[in-house]
Structure 1
Amino acid sequence: MISVSKLLCGLDAESDGLRYDAADDSTEPQITEERQRRPVVVWNTTKRCNLYCEHCYAAADQTGAPGELSTAEGTALIDDLADFGVPVVLFSGGEPLVREDLTELVAYAADAGVRPVLSTNGTLLTRERARALKEAGLQYAGVSVDGLPERNDRIRGEDGAFDAAVRGIEACLDVGLKTGLRYTITEHNVDDLAGVVDLLVDVGVDRFCFYHLDYGGRGADIADVDLAPEATRQAVTDLCDLTREYHDAGEEIETLLVGNYADAGYLVEYADRELGTDRARLIRRHLERNGGDPTGERIADVDPVGNVHLTQFWQGYSPGNVRDRSFGAIWTDESNPLLAGLRDREERLTGACADCAYRDVCRGGSRLRALSAHGDPFAPDPKCYLTDAERAGAEAMRRIGGAEHRTGESSAD
């Protein structure tokens, strides 16, 4: 995740230590005081869902997957994650609220010292359910809304899904549970982005996570409606402008971009253009600490039947199953060539990524999109929207400074 509000507006957040190793500079209580050393783990607790979203990376449906982890296996997984030092477990799905034991699992994670958060479509959240989850120790609920009512309901395959999700958001806010929006941007809903933000700010939401489409699950089936690079660039520009407008008006909304680390390079360029070189230089330092695309390093996924994945979107490949080996043993086994390669990807990146001035803050972007588009996990991400001049970076690097220039090397070498 890249925090637009932190980088452009200086808004402190509880993840500053986790994401930027900047806990000492933040006024907010921190998830952790230092940049994460272990991955955040998304646990797809079930493949079952009451909706049928067109972009669902888990390809969820109403029947679920045979052999999903039981309550006992789930608590054993949480113990495993706690022993490995995982800072956060994100309960996801499918729709995690269809599991009757979700509150029990959340409480178990909280007691084990693993911060529990939730990703949900929100339609099953009542005030009673939200209160129980909060009392169990849930720290945050991210509710997926993908447009204003007509577009959202078409994308999510259910009339009334928008209104039900907003009721779920209101239920969380009523019981004091921190709640935010999750929004996957495609051609189908990009025009609703500002309207959804305006509406939910009025409801009381102050955290907005905007996801680029990754080509996993049903997301791969709609790659043809993914935004083209220039349209992506415009959407990111609009989000940056919108964030600044809200902050200038005194609304401290938190906005984040997820799933395309070309955003990192672009935010430096945007700041240099709109806010000046000093701000751009500070943003670049934060992004260097953040470390670029986290696939196979700072993000991991466990699917409903226990398979480990390199990111929640890359469900088609697994280096192992937690029923056979501990999560830690799977995650640290660099005899796996793909896992090892992703952790040393800078020397494997090809094409435009190989010589990009922002390689150290992007690290090639989505390896899943590269694989989907080119059949090579180290090929360029087709969603990169930086210009050739920005990738070359000579002028910006002279003004802003970067890893290459501070070590005396040329970004063009």
Structure 2
Amino acid sequence: MAATIAGLPHTMRYRADLGVLFDSHTGTFHRLRNGVAQQMVALASSGVTRQGVIDGISHRYRVDPATVADDFDRLLRTLATPAPPSNEHRGSLLEVDKRFDATLDFPLRLEIELTAVCNWNCGFCYNVWKIDPTLSDHDIRRVVRDLPEKHIPTDLAKAILDECVERGCFVIRYSGGETLLHPDAMDIFNHGGQLGLYQVVFTNGHFITAERATRLADANVRCVLVSLHGDRDQHNQLAGHPRAYDKAIGAMQVLLDAGINVVAELTLVKENLAGALDVIRDVYRLGVREFGVMRYVPTGRHDDRYGIPVSVTLPMMRDIDELTATECPGMSVAWPCAQKLCTSDIDTPIRADDPTLALRFSQLVGHCESGMVWASVSYDGQLRNCPHSNVYFGRLADHPVAELWPTLTDRVHAAVATRDSCSGCAVAAACRGGCHLSSFFAPKTTIGLGIPAVGAASATHTDR
């Protein structure tokens, strides 16, 4: 764990290989682009005193110590100054700066799927135990019920958190199934909080109470993403639960009251396309100021029922932009999972003078970072680049993340080269073709009878 840097909040952590400081309480990333600033912070984070930093830098560069002292103090003041209110909500939606083209030695963020169990029955769920297109809803429920291990072992989850702290992973996101159905979920959150990790929880809200919200805040769970896919009737129908909407809305309110940042997340499918703006209005009235719109991710199961074309994105972005400018000022809306910047069903290069570029960059987060900046751990303890993928790179009960990560990230970097059809696009480097799931997705998995490993034909084919 990084040493406390005098003059900075004790929650600051430093990643020297990237020149990145992170505040594990506010979720704020600071990229140090100046080499001298990086050396100052590296010295300070290693336990060198203020005077030691000043003496070391002044000797190295033969600069007056008083000048170095002034520069160092100014740097610390800048880093300790809270972000302006206008940027308050950008952190959890847009997350960390994406400009890491070199291979990282260890991820900056990690997503841990705590459990395969869920009390909802969303037909569009992307979870990997639900992607066999031959299974009926009844069969899916049977398979999940019969899984020999439904939850990640608590000791393994804690060991992963310990490794993350040691290796400079700053953000942990927990998912499921329904995350809070892991029997030791709070124990795991408490462990991560004691380690000083910035923690994010994805939930359907069903098990969030005022008392539990307070406990989450005490465990340094700084952000909670709550699923909401329509108005009361539509959301209940899509979730397959008669109280889903009221539970989600109630959860958002008590989480906000506990001082936790709330992000409402909507999976965009054919059935809720027309009412998506009304969902934004509903959560805005509660006080939620972040909203994520994720298009349904095709998995080969119910794609015809739920799938919508990429081309719906830009028209909806225009409507959202108007909504946030008029009825919902201060609301940040983003489209997770690397929506294509060209928002086209086929690759359509964008010119640098395209008048919609500003709008696109206001809501689209650019290329997918999975396997480049972050990775995912499945409920049965396997490492993968993305929680949507069913291609794995090893079991963490047998190998630490640091041992498996290099193979994973090398595969991803090889897969995200710009496609020929994107040639000439002004934003190709930022987009990299959007989602690259198809390069890491093995279709027709026989659920419960084994998971395809790296080396399967479908896992090694790269079409991006």
Could you state the TM-score of these two structures normalised by the residue count of structure 2? 0.66
Name the residue aligned to 1:223: 303
User: 1: CA distance between counterparts of 2:354 and 2:419?
Assistant: 27
List structure 1 runs of 4+ shifted beyond 6 angstroms.
Answer: 18-25, 29-36, 268-271, 370-376
- Is contact 1:46–1:64 with CA below 8 Å preserved after alignment? no
User: 2: CA distance between counterparts of 1:234 and 1:260?
Assistant: 17
Name the residue aligned to 2:340: 262
| Map 1:167-206 → 2, pairs under 5 A | 167-206=250-289
Deviation per residue, 1:254-312 (Å, 9 max, x gap):
2111123313789x9899536xx9x689x59x99xx76221211231101111011111
Of 375, 378, 400, the residue aligned with 1:326 is: 400
Name the residue aligned to 2:436: 367
Higher helix share: 1
Q: Structure 1's 319 and 16: CA in aligned 2 closer, same or farther, altered over 3 A? A: same
Name the residue aligned to 2:228: 145
| Map 1:29-44 → 2, pairs under 5 A | 38-44=107-113
| Map 1:75-90 → 2, pairs under 5 A | 75-90=158-173
Question: What displacement does 1:162 show?
Answer: 0.7
Specify every segment of 5 or more residues in structure 2 that has no aligned partner in the other structure, as ranges.
1-25, 34-77, 131-140, 345-349, 444-457
Q: Structure 1's 127 and 16: CA in aligned 2 closer, same or farther, altered over 3 A? A: closer
Name the residue aligned to 2:379: 304
Of 397, 402, 410, the residue aligned with 1:340 is: 410
Of 114, 117, 126, the residue aligned with 1:45 is: 114
Q: Structure 1's 330 and 370: CA in aligned 2 closer, same or farther, altered over 3 A? A: closer
User: 2: CA distance between counterparts of 1:46 and 1:105?
Assistant: 12
Task: State the one-letter code of the partner of 2:307.
Answer: D
Structure 2 residue 448 is matched with structure 1 residue 379: no
Question: What displacement does 1:373 show?
Answer: 11
Name the residue aligned to 1:17: 29
Note the aligned Cα RMSD (angstroms).
Answer: 3.6
Deviation per residue, 1:128-164 (Å, 9 max, x gap):
1111111222111110001111211111111121111
Q: Structure 1's 377 and 121: CA in aligned 2 closer, same or farther, altered over 3 A? A: farther
User: 2: CA distance between counterparts of 1:133 and 1:25?
Assistant: 23
Question: What displacement does 1:33 show?
Answer: 9.3
Q: Structure 1's 64 and 254: CA in aligned 2 closer, same or farther, altered over 3 A? A: farther
User: 2: CA distance between counterparts of 1:55 and 1:106?
Assistant: 28
Question: What displacement does 1:370 show?
Answer: 6.2
User: 1: CA distance between counterparts of 2:331 and 2:111?
Assistant: 24
User: 1: CA distance between counterparts of 2:32 and 2:336?
Assistant: 15
Structure 2 residue 126 is matched with structure 1 residue 57: yes
Specify every segment of 5 or more residues in structure 1 that has no aligned partner in the other structure, as ranges.
1-13, 381-413
Q: Structure 1's 155 and 207: CA in aligned 2 closer, same or farther, altered over 3 A? A: same
Question: What displacement does 1:79 show?
Answer: 0.7
Structure 2 residue 195 is matched with structure 1 residue 125: no
- Is contact 2:113–2:174 with CA below 8 Å preserved after alignment? yes
Question: What displacement does 1:205 show?
Answer: 1.0
Q: Structure 1's 101 and 213: CA in aligned 2 closer, same or farther, altered over 3 A? A: same
- Is contact 1:185–1:210 with CA below 8 Å preserved after alignment? yes
User: 2: CA distance between counterparts of 1:351 and 1:270?
Assistant: 18
Question: What displacement does 1:25 show?
Answer: 10
Deviation per residue, 1:177-229 (Å, 9 max, x gap):
2212011111111111111111111111111111122234xxx3132231123
Name the residue aligned to 1:232: 313
Name the residue aligned to 1:317: 391
Q: Structure 1's 167 and 20: CA in aligned 2 closer, same or farther, altered over 3 A? A: farther
- Is contact 1:367–1:377 with CA below 8 Å preserved after alignment? no
- Is contact 1:371–1:379 with CA below 8 Å preserved after alignment? no
Structure 2 residue 327 is matched with structure 1 residue 253: no
User: 2: CA distance between counterparts of 1:264 and 1:373?
Assistant: 26
Q: Secondary structure at the match of 2:335?
A: strand
- Is contact 2:197–2:220 with CA below 8 Å preserved after alignment? no
- Is contact 2:112–2:174 with CA below 8 Å preserved after alignment? yes
Q: Structure 1's 138 and 372: CA in aligned 2 closer, same or farther, altered over 3 A? A: closer
Between structure 1 and structure 2, the one with the greater Rg is 2
